[in-house]
Chain A
Amino acid sequence: MNRLLDSIKLLALAGGFHFFSSCSYEPEEPAFGFYPSRNFPPVEYSSPRNPITREGFELGRDLFYENGLSLDSSINCSSCHAQTHAFADHNVPLSAGVGGKLGKRNSPALINLAWMPQFMADGGIVHLDVMPLAPITDTLEMALPMQMAIDRLKCDSEYRSKFEKAFGTDTITSQRIFFAMSQFMLLMVSDDSRFDKYLEGEALLSDSERRGYSLFNTHCANCHTEPLFTDYSYERNGIDSEFDDLGRGRITLDPADDGKFKVPTLRNVELTYPYMHDGRFFTLEEVLDHYSDEVEPNMSHRLPQPLNLTSAEKEDIIQFLKTLTDYSFISDPKLAEPRR
Chain B
Amino acid sequence: MKRFILSIGVVAAALSFSSCSTEEEPTPSPSGTGTLSLNFDYVWAMSSMPFEMETVLYHPMTGDSLTYTTFKHYVSNVKLIADDNSTYDVPESYHLIDLMDESSTSITINNIPADTYKGIMITFGVDSARNVSGSQTGALDPANEMFWSWNNGYIMLKAEGTSPQSGTGNFVYHLGGFAGQINTVSERSFDFPNGSMITIDNNDQLNVTMQANPARLFHTYGSVSNGAMVHMPGPAAVMMTADFNSWVRLTDAQ
Interface residues of A (CB under 8 A from B): 2-3, 6, 10, 31-39, 43, 47-52, 120, 124-130, 133-134, 137-138, 145-147, 150, 173-175, 178-179, 191-192, 196, 200, 250-251, 253
Contacts and interface: CB of A to CB of B under 8 A. Distances in A.
B14 A124 contact: no
Given A34-B6, A48-B13, A48-B17, 15 more contacts: A6-B3, A6-B4, A34-B7, A34-B10, A35-B3, A35-B5, A38-B2, A47-B134, A51-B14, A52-B7, A127-B152, A129-B134, A130-B142, A175-B141, A191-B1
A37 B17 CA distance: 26
B136 interface: yes
Nearest to B143: A146
Interface residues of B, number: 32
B4 A130 contact: no
A134 B132 contact: no
7 contacts: A124-B150, A124-B151, A133-B149, A150-B143, A174-B135, A174-B142, A251-B151
B149 A134 contact: yes
Nearest to A53: B7
B234 interface: yes
B88 to A, nearest CB: 26
A291 B17 CA distance: 48
Where chain B touches its partner, the secondary structure class is: loop
Interface string B129-153: 0001111110001110101011110
Interface in B221-238: 233-234
B49 interface: no
A190 to B, nearest CB: 12
Contact of A38 (B1, B7, B17, B149): B1
A134 B1 CA distance: 35
Where chain A touches its partner, the secondary structure class is: loop
Given A34-B7, A250-B151, A251-B151, A196 B1 contact: yes
B57 interface: no
A66 B7 CA distance: 26
Contacts of B137: 173-175
Contacts of B133: 127
A49 B149 contact: no
Which of B132, B135, B147 is packed against the most chain A CB atoms within 10 Å?
B135
B101 to A, nearest CB: 15
A174 B141 contact: yes
Interface string B198-225: 0000000000000000000000000000
B132 A126 contact: yes
Which of A36, A128, A192, A253 is packed against the most chain B CB atoms within 10 Å?
A253
Which of B6, B13, B17, B233 is packed against the most chain A CB atoms within 10 Å?
B6
Which of B17, B137, B150 is packed against the most chain A CB atoms within 10 Å?
B150
A173 B136 CA distance: 10
A262 to B, nearest CB: 14
A36 B6 contact: yes
Contacts of B150: 120, 124-125, 134, 138
B14 A125 contact: no
A133 B2 contact: no
Contacts of A145: 143, 145
B47 interface: no
A38 B2 CA distance: 5
Contacts of A253: 182, 233-234
B135 A130 contact: yes
Contacts of A196: 1
A51 B3 CA distance: 18
A220 B149 CA distance: 32
Nearest to B148: A124
Nearest to A181: B135
B10 A52 contact: yes
Nearest to A175: B135
Contacts of A6: 2-4
Given A49-B18, A52-B7, A147-B143, A39 B1 contact: yes
B143 A138 contact: no
Contacts of B18: 48-49
Interface string B1-31: 1111111101101100110000000000000
B98 to A, nearest CB: 14
Contacts of B147: 130, 133
Closest 6 CB pairs of A and B: A33-B7, A129-B134, A127-B134, A134-B149, A38-B2, A146-B143
B110 to A, nearest CB: 22
Nearest to A43: B6
Contacts of A146: 142-143, 145
Contacts of A127: 132-135, 152
Contacts of A191: 1
Contacts of A192: 1
Contacts of B2: 2-3, 6, 38
B141 A173 contact: yes
